Amino acid sequence: MKTRRTETIERKRLVPHTVDGETELVLDTEYIEVPAPPRDWDQLVRIGVTIGACILVTVALVWSTSAIGGLLALSVVAVVAYAAAVAFDMTWIMCMAVEWLLRYDPARAKTARRAGRWSLVVSMAAVFAHGYVFEQPVIGIVGAAVSALAKGGWGIAMRVHARPLDDRTQQWVTKRRAAVDGQLAMIPIRRELQRGQATVEAEQRTLTESGSTDPDQSGPSANGSGPSAPPIDRKSLTTKDAVRIAWEDGIRDRDGVIHDAAQRLGRPVSPDSVDRYLRDLKRGA
């Protein structure tokens, strides 16, 4: 009689344990034997097909690089020739990778599939040209077929892993992906806007602190001061107001005006702005 295969699993649970009349929940570990699930031969075959496709692609890459590199080495340095030869097969391999990533988006995967086929044709033509130049056209044809077989093997592996969707489910997936893609696209856009806004705010702070901008240009002229001037709200002073107050208090020295205005405003003032306002006050006097 055939014994059924089992496997040991570890199970942990909290159980009450009492010591000296005090009970606490402690972790108890037990090992039990359960029937082992049957071997999934379909999954094993699927893995084998995938590994075989990867091996085929690797062989095709090595063979094509060797053949095309030998052809290009007739006119350039060998290192450069073989480095450039990698591009021929890497192009259609990259297209296959993109096709894999877009396997649930047939509309976008179609472009990658078409580009991969054209890249494969170019690579096969280059391998055949190598055999033709060295007067071995049969070897060129057989060598070119290596890439075609690798591409076909990968296509078979793709079909094994494919999960076709019906039309309505595909539309649902497309709409949900579009919504998520929109949210993902907004992440760098928000970062860009935040960086731009931070740069603008930093520039404004720099210009204000250095006195390169004149926030008082829209205020009244300084030579309009005098006994008839309206009272000034000292809680919302501007540089122009602070200079006028210092002038009315009898301060005529430039450095004294700058010091008095800075104290009233609670921040440094621009010497250029102070000079301009003092000139206006002197002309009005």
Say yes or no: 73 and 27 in one domain. Answer: no
Q: What is the structure's pLDDT at 227?
A: 43
The total domain count for the chain is 3
**pTM across the whole model:** 0.54
Domain co-membership, 29 together with 49: no
Mean pLDDT of 191-203: 85
* Mean pLDDT computed over every residue of the chain: 83
Residue ending a domain, among 161, 180, 204, is: 161
Last residue of a domain, one of 139, 161, 183: 161
Where does the chain show beta strands of DSSP type E?
Answer: 6-19, 22-35
> What are all long-range contacts of 134-141, with beta carbons under 8 Å and residues at least 24 apart?
140/67
Residues 27 and 72 in one domain: no
* Position 215 in a domain: no
Tens digits of residue pLDDT in 12-37: 888 899 998 889 999 999 888 888 77
Q: Is the pLDDT of residue 103 over 70?
A: yes
Higher pLDDT pick, 113 / 285: 113
- Do 134 and 91 lie in one domain? The reply is yes
Last residue of a domain, one of 115, 133, 161: 161
Instruction: Label residue 246 exposed, middle or buried (CB < 10 Å: 0-12, 13-18, 19+).
Output: buried
- Residues 130, 26: one domain? no
Domain limits at 236? 232-284
Instruction: Describe the crossing of helices 78-101 and 41-72 by its angle, rounded to 10 degrees.
Output: 150
- Pick the residue with more confidence: 30 or 228? 30
- 53 with 28, same domain? no
Specify whether 80 is located in the same domain as 140.
yes
Q: Over 80: is that where the pLDDT of 139 sits?
A: yes
151 and 236 both lie in a single domain: no
16 with 89, same domain: the answer is no
212 inside domain? no
Domain identity same for 22 and 59:
no
**Average pLDDT estimate for 62-82:** 90
